[in-house]
Amino acid sequence: MSGGVWDLGLGRVLLRCGPDPAATAAQLEALLTQGLVVGLAAPQEERELAAALQQQPPRQGGPAPEPAEAWAVGPPGAAIAGPAVVVGSGGSSGARRWVLQPLASLEAAVDALAAWLEGLDLDPAAALILNPLPLHHVSGLLPLLRARRWGAELRWLEPTLLREPARLALAEPLDPLRPALISLVPTQLQRLVNHPDGLAWLARCAVIWVGGAALPAPLAECCRAAGLRISPCYGSSETGAMVCALEPARFLAGDPGVGRPLGHAALAIAPGAGAVRIRAGSLAAGSWTAGRLQPLPLEDGWWCSGDRGRLGPAGLELLGRLDGAISSGGETVFPEPVEARLRELAEHAGLPLRALLLLPESDPLWGERLVGLYRPAPATGSAAGADQAAPAPLAERLRQLALQLPPSQRPRRWLACAELAPTALGKWQRGRWRAWLMQQPITNP
C-alpha cells in the first residue's frame, strides 16, 4: 500500500512513507503542488512526530482513521504557509528534532548542486539519479526534488539491493555513457566496496556523494585505489542536505575533508570551540518542539551547527561533534576523531573488529575517561568462536593499540557488545549505547 495521508486542516498533512517510494513520491508532489505543509516520518516514528506536533493518535479500540496507517498533524493556531516539508533531524546525539523546510529553500540547494555538477562538465538534466535512501530522510527526499527540478530521470533502489551487490549489479545495470549520481552513507558504501560486483557497479557512477557520517580513512583509501569518483559531502536537515562537497578529482588526488561551500552557502568557524557556522539560502525555517515552531537560532544570518571543524586549503574538515566533547585530565577530548584513529590502527593491525564506539564515564581523578565498546568480527575457520567466547584477547590488543594515543584519549576499559552497530544510515545513537553502558558492572581497568 502506498503512503497514507490524513488532513487536519490549517494546510498541514502527515504523509506516511510507504513501501512503494514512487507512489509515495507522487503523493508528496501532489500535496506540495497544493501548497501544503507535509510531515514525513518513518512508520516507527509517526507517533513521535505526531507528539511533537501535539497530535493525539487514534484511541486504542476506537474507530481508525482512513487510511488506517496515517493521521493528521499540526497544532492549533494560524496556518503556516506552504509548500513545505517537515523531516527529522538530530538522531546522532539522541535529541530528535522535526525541521520545517520550505520548498523554496530546498530548491535553492537543488539549484546550487546543479551548478556544482555543471562545474564538473556534467549536465544535470542528462543524469540518472539513483536513490537508495528513504524519502523521510533529507538525503532521500532531495533526489526526488533534484529530478523534479532538473528534468532528470530518478530511479528508486530497493534498500535490500545494497546488501546484495551481485543482485544489485544484475537488477540495476548502469550505462557508462550516462552519468549516474548516487548518495550513500559510509555503511552502504562499505558493503558495496567489499564485493567485486558492487565495486564494479560503483565504478560506473559519475559521482558518489558520501555523507551522514565520517568516511573512515581505510575505506577512503580503498575507494581511491579503485578509482571511485567519491565526493565526501556535508549538510543536515537544517541546511537542506548538502552545503559543501569535495570534487571527485580532488578526492582521488588525496585531498581531505568535505570540500568547499556550494554556491548557495557560506561557511565559517566560530572562535573558541571551533563550531561550524553556516549561512545558506536553504536554511530551515525552524523546528517543531512540543507543538510549537521554534525559529532556527541565527546570529546575523549564521546558524551554528553542532559540529566542530576547521577550514583548510581543500575546504571544510570535520573534527567531531561539539556535544560529544569531554574533559579528561584537563584535556578536551573529542571521541569521534579518536574512534577514527583507533579504527585505522585496528585495520592496519588486522584485528577482527566489526564495530567500535567510545563513550565517556565519570572518573574521580580524571573527571571523565573514555570507555571503548567493541564488537568482534565473526571468526572463521579454526578461530571460530574464540573472540566471542573469550573477548579479552581482542580487548587487550585494542588496549595495546591505544598506547599510541595521548593518555587522555586512551580508553580506561574495553567492553565487548554483541549488538553494537550504527543505524542503517550510519549514525551512532550514542544515547542508546550510554544507557547500555550504565547497565554494565564497573570493574577495575
**Structure confidence by residue, pLDDT tens digits, 96-145:** 688 999 999 999 999 999 999 999 999 999 999 999 988 988 999 999 99
**C-alpha–C-alpha distance, residues 278 and 298, integer Å:** 10
What residue type is 347 in one-letter code? E
Q: Distance of alpha carbon 209 from its chain centroid, rounded?
A: 12
Q: What angle do CA 335, 338, 339 make, to 5 degrees?
A: 85
* Structural domain spans, the chain: 5-82, 102-323, 325-438
314 pLDDT tier (thresholds 50, 70, 90): very high
Q: Which CATH number fits domain 102-323: 3.30.60.50, 3.10.20.30, 3.40.50.300, 3.40.50.12780?
A: 3.40.50.12780
Query: Residue 385: what pLDDT?
Result: 44
Q: What is the mean pLDDT of residues 270-298?
A: 88
% of residues, the chain, pLDDT over 90: 56
Spatial strand order in the sheet of 37-41: 5-9, 12-16, 37-41, 84-89, 97-102, 286-289, 292-295
Single out the residue of 387, 358, 386 nearest to residue 373, CA to CA. Answer: 358
Query: Residue 10: what pLDDT?
Result: 56
Residue 159 has phi, psi (to 5 degrees) of -55, -35
**C-alpha–C-alpha distance, residues 94 and 445, integer Å:** 28
**C-alpha–C-alpha distance, residues 148 and 156, integer Å:** 14
The mean-pLDDT minimum among 46-55, 118-127, 306-315, 379-388 falls in: 379-388
User: pLDDT: is 5 or 37 the higher one?
Assistant: 37
The mean pLDDT of the chain is 84
**C-alpha–C-alpha distance, residues 38 and 17, integer Å:** 11
**C-alpha–C-alpha distance, residues 189 and 37, integer Å:** 33
Q: Which CATH number fits domain 325-438: 3.30.420.10, 3.30.420.130, 3.30.9.10, 3.30.300.30?
A: 3.30.300.30
Long-range contacts of the stretch 407-410 (C-beta < 8 A, 24+): 407/329, 408/328, 408/329, 408/330, 408/331, 408/333, 408/366, 409/328, 409/333, 409/338, 409/370, 410/370
Contacts of 374 by beta carbon, 8 Å cutoff, 6+ apart: 353, 355, 356, 357, 394, 395, 398, 414, 415, 416, 417, 420
Coil, helix or strand at residue 136 = coil
186 pLDDT tier (thresholds 50, 70, 90): confident
Q: How far is CA 374 from CA 8, 398, 420, 421, in A?
A: 46, 9, 7, 9
User: pLDDT: is 384 or 272 the higher one?
Assistant: 272
pLDDT at 65 over 80: no
Q: What is the mean pLDDT of residues 221-232?
A: 97
Please state the pTM of the whole predicted model: 0.77
**C-alpha–C-alpha distance, residues 297 and 287, integer Å:** 10
pLDDT at 302 over 90: yes
**C-alpha–C-alpha distance, residues 108 and 243, integer Å:** 11
% of residues, the chain, pLDDT over 70: 83
